[in-house]
């Protein structure tokens, strides 16, 4: 693998702020971002991604590739939970296995944001329809996770799937990015240009602050994960890597665009720690958030940032 990819990560200011957040916790600094400010930054990033994606989609004619991309993305999100569940069910139990499977089948908007930064370093632009693909990959995994829970431990899921779907769609992060996508799609281009300084110019600055907080959160939660053993740590690193590698290769049959293929790989390798935990609190109350959230946030997320993205890009460049 070309080591230039790793040097790009190490010289990227946004990634360096992520590392600063980890260091801040390790040295027990009092550095913190107020919760209200962090929530605003999160909403801003989702708004900016969704709106810009909608604008890009507005200028892109609907093609068979876009249709197949949506099908491929949702298929990935539905398939990954199936085999993930059976790999870990005996070790962690049905409830935890269903929650973990749903988390790893769903996607991380934060990892998606980081992927945009990586693409910019390669002088590649994101295609707008991939924002829609990401949004539609949120809920198939949740539905599959609940179905598995119902099949193997029926006493935990006494509510309807429409209720769960509504809960998933009403999740703030999902609603913001999908709503912004639709607004960007419907907005007049000239009027949209008036807010470009807010939607585009300051994006990287807010991303740096966001990843600073994510670094601190990662360092804090990795401690609580230590009690669950190395087997689940291995799962949190190896399964995302496998997903990303396989999808990086398979994506060539859906699209020839390098940036699209890279985003597919990153989404397949990511794990949700926002939408899925919110849904699983309702669907699997016996599942331990202290297991699946640190797995996704404390191990999978930094792995993808540091090693996964360069690896997936390298594989795509070979095929």
Residue pLDDT, tens place only, 102-136: 999 988 877 888 888 888 888 888 887 888 888 77
Confirm whether 262 is domain-assigned.
yes
| Mean pLDDT for the stretch of residues 172-184 | 77
Confirm whether 304 is domain-assigned.
yes
How far apart, in whole angstroms, are the C-alpha atoms of residue 132 and residue 181? 7
Most confident of 171-180, 194-203, 255-264, 273-282: 255-264
Phi-psi group of 59: left, alpha or beta (phi > 0 → left; psi -120 to 50 → alpha; rest → beta): alpha
Q: Which long-range contacts (CB under 8 A, 24 or more apart) does 11-17 make?
A: 12/117, 12/118, 12/121, 13/204, 13/208, 14/114, 14/117, 14/204, 14/207, 14/208, 14/211, 15/114, 15/117, 15/211, 15/305, 15/306, 17/208, 17/209, 17/211, 17/212, 17/215
How far apart, in whole angstroms, are the C-alpha atoms of residue 277 and residue 257? 32
Confirm whether 4 is domain-assigned.
no
Q: What is the pLDDT of residues 306-318, one digit of tens each?
A: 899 999 999 999 9
Most confident of 45-54, 121-130, 165-174, 302-311: 302-311
Confirm whether 61 is domain-assigned.
yes
| Mean pLDDT for the stretch of residues 142-155 | 77
Given a contact cutoff of 8 angstroms between Cβ atoms, the answer to whether 139 and 165 are in contact is: yes
Provide the sign of the torsion angle of the four alpha carbons 118, 122, 125, 127, taken in this order: negative
Given a contact cutoff of 8 angstroms between Cβ atoms, the answer to whether 56 and 245 are in contact is: no
| pLDDT for 154 beyond 70 | no
Q: What is the pLDDT of residues 231-242, one digit of tens each?
A: 888 999 999 999
How far apart, in whole angstroms, are the C-alpha atoms of residue 313 and residue 37? 33
Query: Containing domain of residue 168, as a range?
Result: 36-318
Q: What is the pLDDT of residues 54-103, one digit of tens each?
A: 787 777 778 888 899 989 999 999 999 999 999 999 888 888 899 899 99
How many domains, the chain? 1
Most confident of 2-6, 28-32, 114-118: 28-32
pLDDT at position 142: 80
| pLDDT for 3 beyond 50 | no
pLDDT at position 71: 94
Confirm whether 296 is domain-assigned.
yes
Percent of the chain predicted with pLDDT > 90: 27
Backbone Cα Rg of the chain? 19
Per-residue tokens: 103? 């988390």
CATH code, domain with 83 = 1.20.1530.20
- Higher-pLDDT residue of 286, 244: 244
Average pLDDT, the chain: 82
Confirm whether 230 is domain-assigned.
yes
Model confidence pTM above 0.85? no
How far apart, in whole angstroms, are the C-alpha atoms of residue 202 and residue 139? 30
Residue 197 binned pLDDT confidence (cut-offs 50, 70, 90): confident
Confirm whether 11 is domain-assigned.
no
- State which H helix or E strand residue 278 sits in: helix 275-283
Residue 229 binned pLDDT confidence (cut-offs 50, 70, 90): low
Helices (runs of H) and strands (runs of E) counted in the chain = 19, 0
pLDDT at position 2: 46
How far apart, in whole angstroms, are the C-alpha atoms of residue 290 and residue 293? 6
Q: Looking at 37-51, 100-114, 209-223, which range is the least confident one?
A: 209-223
Q: Looking at 72-76, 180-184, 288-292, 308-312, which range is the least confident one?
A: 288-292
């Amino acid at each position: 693998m070309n080591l230039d990819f790793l040097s790009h990560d190490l010289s990227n200011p946004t990634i360096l702020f992520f590392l600063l957040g980890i260091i801040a916790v390790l040295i027990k600094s009092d550095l913190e971002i107020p919760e209200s400010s962090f929530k605003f930054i999160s909403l801003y990033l989702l708004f900016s991604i969704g709106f810009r994606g909608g604008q890009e989609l507005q200028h892109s004619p609907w093609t068979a590739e876009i249709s197949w991309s949506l099908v491929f993305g949702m298929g990935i999100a539905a398939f990954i939970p199936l085999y993930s569940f059976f790999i870990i069910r005996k070790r962690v139990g049905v409830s935890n296995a269903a929650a973990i499977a749903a988390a790893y089948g769903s996607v991380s908007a934060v990892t998606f944001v980081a992927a945009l930064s990586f693409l910019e370093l390669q002088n590649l632009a994101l295609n707008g329809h991939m924002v829609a693909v990401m949004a539609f990959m949120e809920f198939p995994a949740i539905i599959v996770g609940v179905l598995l829970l119902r099949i193997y431990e029926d006493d935990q899921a006494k509510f309807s799937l429409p209720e769960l779907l509504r809960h998933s769609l009403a999740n703030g992060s999902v609603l913001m990015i999908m709503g912004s996508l639709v607004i960007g799609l419907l907005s007049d281009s000239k009027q949209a240009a008036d807010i470009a300084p807010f939607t585009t110019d300051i994006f990287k600055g807010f991303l740096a602050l966001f990843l600073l907080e994510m670094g601190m959160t990662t360092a804090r939660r990795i401690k609580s994960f230590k009690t669950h053993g190395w087997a689940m740590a291995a799962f949190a690193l190896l399964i995302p890597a496998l997903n990303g590698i396989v999808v990086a290769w398979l994506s060539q049959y859906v699209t020839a665009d390098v940036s699209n293929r890279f985003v597919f790989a990153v989404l397949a390798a990511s794990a949700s720690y926002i939408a899925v935990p919110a849904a699983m609190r309702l669907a699997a109350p016996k599942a331990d958030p202290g297991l699946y959230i640190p797995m996704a946030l404390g191990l999978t997320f930094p792995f993808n940032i540091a090693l996964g993205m360069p690896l997936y890009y390298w594989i795509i460049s070979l095929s």
